[in-house]
Structure 1
Amino acid sequence: MNVSFSVPPSCILYEYSSEEGHPSYPGGQWLPGALLNSAENCLSVNSKRSLGDVVVKWRDEGDDEVPVKNMTLKELREEVWLVAYALQTLGLNKGASIAIDMPMNVTAVIIYLAIVLAGYVVVSIADSFAPREISMRLRISNAKAIFTQDYILRGKKRLSLYSRVIDADPPLAIVVPTGSSGFSTKLRDCDISWPTFLERVKNCKSDCFAAVVQPVDEFTNILFSSGTTGEPKAIPWTHATPLKAAADAWCHMDVRKGDVVAWPTNLGWMMGPWLVYASLLNGASMALYNGSPLDSGFAKFVQDAKVTMLGVVPSIVRAWKSTNSTFGYNWSAIRCFGSTGEASNIDEYLWLMARAHYKPVIEYCGGTEIGGGFVSGSFLQAQLLSAFSTPAMGCNLFILGSDGNPLPQDTPGIGELALDPLMFGASNTLLNANHFDVYFKGMPTWKGKVLRRHGDEFERTSGGYYRAHGRADDTMNLGGIKVSSIEIERVCNGANDTILETAAIGVPPLEGGPEQLVIVVVLKDLNNLETNLDTLKASFNSRLQKKLNPLFKLDFDFDIGFKCCPHFFPPKNSVK
């Protein structure tokens, strides 16, 4: 990938002996002594790219008949440098955390790279979060400022964003206007408009910004992954993590110079930063559609931008298939699809492949704490729909048996998944939890190394493929978003004063595919079942969407089939 170091590492991997050990690096330390800046590497000229190469392609929803907009490496560098200079006017200490809560558009990508280039730390917040969730992430990360947008346009809907952000009470917001007619909401006195922010350094437009070079283990990004305690785990990415993301794209999806990579996502989720590094470090262009990926406008953008690698979440594919929104568009430029976030459905993915003359789907599963994948598909192997063909490059997988120890490698089996601790780019600390306790405490050893906990239940088939069977803990996956049952139950328990408690369950469909949310309700008075269940369901959906995420909803209708008493049990095969 032509990664350049200001100071090269003393070695690639320093393995600790069992006697010396190291609590932060079980097994070993990668690239010790190296100094670099991962954003600088994204913007540098090398054998993979020149200043005139197009590195970003984008289109806004509603501009479907307008030519795709392009940005060259030269233009991207100048925009990033300008924002980096403007960041210095905020008077923040190097290493300070700065949040981004925006749609993943070209401005958000520029801001992201500028924060890392200038030696600060990005705090990733999804643009769908409610104020409470935003506030929690600002508090955990100790963010000193936040970049946000006035509002989000989705079709004819105007979705507030700045108003949600200020309800979370950040110390400072830099606000990007959505339209050309000014702001829809008056800014707080302490906040700064995007034009005013850039005006501070308007004379630095073409001045090269000297990247802040840092040790390889310095933080670049704080992302969040659902924990089982109700508070999300705050996972720092370092300067090594972008190299892991880009290496996965190079190895498993063959991303290379001249490719155009699209993956509908957001900087609040790991696939947002992954897309930035996977494309730029490999000499490819990233393709950004500022709008809903579910409608025909996105399908047309894939055609017009000549996307060669299209990443998806299974829920999106299901929507495309049900509405046939991709009909009539030419996706022949696609060389492969990538899929992550949820379990996929075989029939839906056969349909997806047919959109691009049956190009393969590279299934890809990993985690925010890994910065990429631990299991994947590969162009070098025959692919099986909705299955993984290989551990990701540099990873070893272990399936734990009923006794908690690894099953013999390369033999069929099903159980909780464990990982080799020597994974390049994987996390070695958490901001709000003990990293060793979360990932290593109580885990078995293999060849003298303690294995790393992951939490998914996995199967290795007799044919040598891998299939995911959901979480082994109290975390579920809804629409590609991991959330703990505790978070959902806390919201649902307050939906109605007749509720004693609730239990949230993620149920995979029989035919395969994304998990569906079911809520089990225990009423305070079991002899009074007059609660209007439709009203209760609507209340649950409303609270979940307002207090957690607007993408969450119940998938099944309620049904009360019997009254509970100490000696009555439902028939074994009934579902109520």
Structure 2
Amino acid sequence: MNKPIWFPSEAYTRGSHIEALLQHFGLDGYEALYRLSIEETERFWQATLELLDLRWSVPYERVLDLSQGPQWPNWFVGGRLNLAQNALRHAEERPNEPALLWEGEDGAVRQLTYQELEVAVAQAAHALRALGVGKGDRVGLFLPMLPETAVAALAVARIGAIFVPIFSGYAPEAAATRLQDAEACLLIAADGFLRRGGRVALLENARAAARLSPSVKQLLVVRRFGDVPLASGEVAWDELVPAQPKEAPYLPVESMEPFMLIYTSGTTGRPKGTVHYHAGFPLKAAQDMAHLFDLRKGETLFWFTDMGWMMGPWAILGALTLGARVLLYEGAPDYPDAGRLWALCARHGVTHLGLSPTLVRALMPLGDAPVQEHDLSRLRVLGSTGEPWNLEPYLWFFHTVGRGRLPIINYSGGTEVGGGILGCTVWRPIKPMGFNTAAPGIHAEVLDASGRPVRGEVGELAVLKPWPGQTKGFWNAPERYLSTYWGRFENVWVHGDWALLDEEGHWFIQGRSDDTLKVAGKRVGPAEYESAAVEHPAVKEAAAIGVPHEVKGEVAVVFVVLRPGYLEGPELAQAIAETIAARLGKALKPERVLFVSDLPKTRNAKVMRRVIRAAYLGQNPGDLSALENPQAVEAIRQVGL
């Protein structure tokens, strides 16, 4: 399907952030605005920050300094600010409006107004100082999605320290790897959280991780349950923080001063600590939410994620900076029943809902009724990120959840980007599974093997100019950063995704370039195989990998999870293979179709193809700490024998 299914209307364009920019520049259309954003970079960012009402303790003297090259841009030269002040400044004008909403899996609900959040962050900032944390110190956040998680992150930034978010599902060794690399001095952890009705004993893992990390001197414990005795030297959040003064200064820091190290899992070797700064990631998050998602003051964003993934800090910092509210949820999306996620949205008046394609695929088999039974009339925008779509779940999200009237803002970028490279704007028609624009301010292209821009064919997704939010290298590993993103073409960021840009200006991600198959001399994205596979009625979800072949060079192997009621067998495997061949062509028919009960996924439901490929070939799969279901890896090893 290559025709748009959603079209702009005044309901979306009138009063939008993009409309304000168009009026500011005196432009008559989105295309002209995007061109200005990449041709007149400094003018665009100056206007954007003015319209978003960013606060500076010391105004910047110059938007951009590239004297060290595009790999190391210096943004907003001479300026000083604090991201926590920008996130909480709305307490001045709208102190009693909700800023932070939280719901636990057990139904517990908490709400903090902007004023209450400001006070909580001030008290937490004093508590951190009382524990000896100072400017530039690293603080680990080993926390689920709790109100204290947002408070802790903002408090760390408020005093000029650096927080290190750690996925709440990590084993001690994985958490310790990040704490050790960052040389964190303090670890903030919860005593546990709920997941599918069970209690996850997070504090046990936190203690073990701290023991493995010599730099960690203290453990600050958020007592979600309060019935776990604290060990000697451990400090209770609920005893220390509320006793502190209710006012605290914001430490003005230089624009490029780091506030967060967030780690990404590498294919091999240790995880990469991406460095993000006060005038980067938070501004990029707010700008993307404004220009792509059009999140407005007083609206409510809910993105199903964890603080250990980029989208956790992105949701909190971006939404609060725009004066919106952010909803955090602790548990599983379908517990205790299939309607939990939709009830959550209805109960809290969610206007912007973000889900990964894999999560949508998991929710689809639960049926339409759980969605239709809840009042989702407040929903205005749907969002997705993490991986390429298949057509069926995309259309289900659009028609069943969005009632055929809401735009799906497809969003693709990454931790190192600080937000999106590609997205959608409500000012252009939207094609299924695609992106109708590069993010304003991002000069993106699709490049062929020689580095030339191409249209209508698959190539490397690249960015030709720097942007705020671009990571300030990898922590203590600048050469690794340069080789990862800048080693292919001179002064060009190559992101590692295969993409296609059609003649109408719509983009399509074809998968990671290291995931891409080359079958019969043609490069094929794994998403193409997977979309074709799920057209067979027996297939719930699929993952495709390329494996070496003595004669053909490379062939496709497709792993399939079946829908209930279907039985594995050679005839069904053959039928699925034929379905794929009918869609892609006989030359691209997969060599094997293998049945598994589950695919290796991260907590935010991203399928890990590189893990599947390594396990199938009997190779070292690299860092598995991000997986929610590591048992799936062993099952793939067995079918590969």
CA-CA distance at 1:522 after TM superposition: 6.2
Is 1:231 paired with 2:270? yes
What is the one-letter code of the residue matched to 1:73? Y
The answer for the alignment partner of 1:493 in structure 2 is none
Query: What is the rounded CA distance, in whole Å, between the counterparts of 1:141 and 1:228 in structure 2?
Result: 20
The answer for the alignment partner of 2:294 in structure 1 is 254
The answer for the alignment partner of 1:570 in structure 2 is none
**What's the RMSD between the two structures over aligned residues?**
3.1
Matched position secondary structure for 2:269: coil
The answer for the alignment partner of 2:129 in structure 1 is 88
The answer for the alignment partner of 1:216 in structure 2 is 255
Matched position secondary structure for 1:123: strand
Structure 1 residue runs without a partner (length 5+): 479-504, 525-539, 562-574
Structure 2 counterpart of 1:43, from 88, 93, 99: 88
CA-CA distance at 1:176 after TM superposition: 1.4
Change (3 A) 1:93 1:77: closer
Q: Is the 8 A contact 1:544 1:553 kept in 2?
A: no
Q: Is the 8 A contact 2:193 2:330 kept in 1?
A: no
Is 1:367 paired with 2:414? yes
Matched position secondary structure for 2:371: coil
The answer for the alignment partner of 1:423 in structure 2 is 467
The answer for the alignment partner of 1:59 in structure 2 is 103
Query: What is the rounded CA distance, in whole Å, between the counterparts of 1:365 and 1:508 in structure 2?
Result: 24
Is 1:120 paired with 2:161? yes
The answer for the alignment partner of 1:487 in structure 2 is none
CA-CA distance at 1:520 after TM superposition: 4.7
Structure 2 residue runs without a partner (length 5+): 1-51, 518-524, 527-555, 561-579, 585-605
Matched position secondary structure for 2:276: strand
Is 1:388 paired with 2:440? no
Q: Is the 8 A contact 1:518 1:554 kept in 2?
A: no
What is the one-letter code of the residue matched to 1:59? E
Query: What is the rounded CA distance, in whole Å, between the counterparts of 1:329 and 1:344 in structure 2?
Result: 25
Query: What is the rounded CA distance, in whole Å, between the counterparts of 1:557 and 1:27 in structure 2?
Result: 43
Q: Is the 8 A contact 2:134 2:159 kept in 1?
A: no
CA-CA distance at 1:60 after TM superposition: 1.5
Structure 1 counterpart of 2:359, from 316, 333, 354: 316
Query: What is the rounded CA distance, in whole Å, between the counterparts of 1:523 and 1:460 in structure 2?
Result: 36
The answer for the alignment partner of 1:349 in structure 2 is 394
CA-CA distance at 1:329 after TM superposition: 1.2
What is the one-letter code of the residue matched to 1:549? L
Percent of aligned pairs with the same residue?
Answer: 27
Change (3 A) 1:294 1:230: farther
Aligned residue pairs, count? 496
What is the one-letter code of the residue matched to 1:90? L
Is 1:303 paired with 2:346? yes
Query: What is the rounded CA distance, in whole Å, between the counterparts of 2:501 and 2:638 in structure 1?
Result: 38
The answer for the alignment partner of 1:75 in structure 2 is 116
CA-CA distance at 1:463 after TM superposition: 3.6
CA-CA distance at 1:549 after TM superposition: 3.0
Change (3 A) 1:554 1:229: same
Query: What is the rounded CA distance, in whole Å, between the counterparts of 2:150 and 2:223 in structure 1?
Result: 16
What is the one-letter code of the residue matched to 1:93? G
Q: Is the 8 A contact 2:296 2:322 kept in 1?
A: yes
Q: Is the 8 A contact 2:72 2:472 kept in 1?
A: no
Matched position secondary structure for 2:632: coil
Query: What is the rounded CA distance, in whole Å, between the counterparts of 1:108 and 1:189 in structure 2?
Result: 23
Q: Is the 8 A contact 1:227 1:475 kept in 2?
A: no
Q: Deviations over 1:283-310 (max 9, x none)?
A: 1111112221233223211001110000
Matched position secondary structure for 1:153: strand
CA-CA distance at 1:374 after TM superposition: 0.6
Change (3 A) 1:415 1:83: same
Q: Is the 8 A contact 2:262 2:308 kept in 1?
A: yes
Query: What is the rounded CA distance, in whole Å, between the counterparts of 1:521 and 1:356 in structure 2?
Result: 38
CA-CA distance at 1:473 after TM superposition: 3.0
Q: Is the 8 A contact 1:390 1:465 kept in 2?
A: yes
CA-CA distance at 1:318 after TM superposition: 1.2
Query: What is the rounded CA distance, in whole Å, between the counterparts of 1:392 and 1:203 in structure 2?
Result: 42
CA-CA distance at 1:521 after TM superposition: 5.0
Query: What is the rounded CA distance, in whole Å, between the counterparts of 1:147 and 1:327 in structure 2?
Result: 40
Q: Deviations over 1:102-125 (max 9, x none)?
A: 111211111111111111110010
TM-score between both structures, scaled by the size of structure 1: 0.79
Query: What is the rounded CA distance, in whole Å, between the counterparts of 1:518 and 1:439 in structure 2?
Result: 21
TM-score between both structures, scaled by the size of structure 2: 0.72
Query: What is the rounded CA distance, in whole Å, between the counterparts of 2:557 and 2:133 in structure 1?
Result: 43
Query: What is the rounded CA distance, in whole Å, between the counterparts of 2:487 and 2:238 in structure 1?
Result: 53
Query: What is the rounded CA distance, in whole Å, between the counterparts of 2:506 and 2:634 in structure 1?
Result: 32
Q: Deviations over 1:320-369 (max 9, x none)?
A: 11123434112111111110011122211211122232211100001111
Is 1:334 paired with 2:379? yes
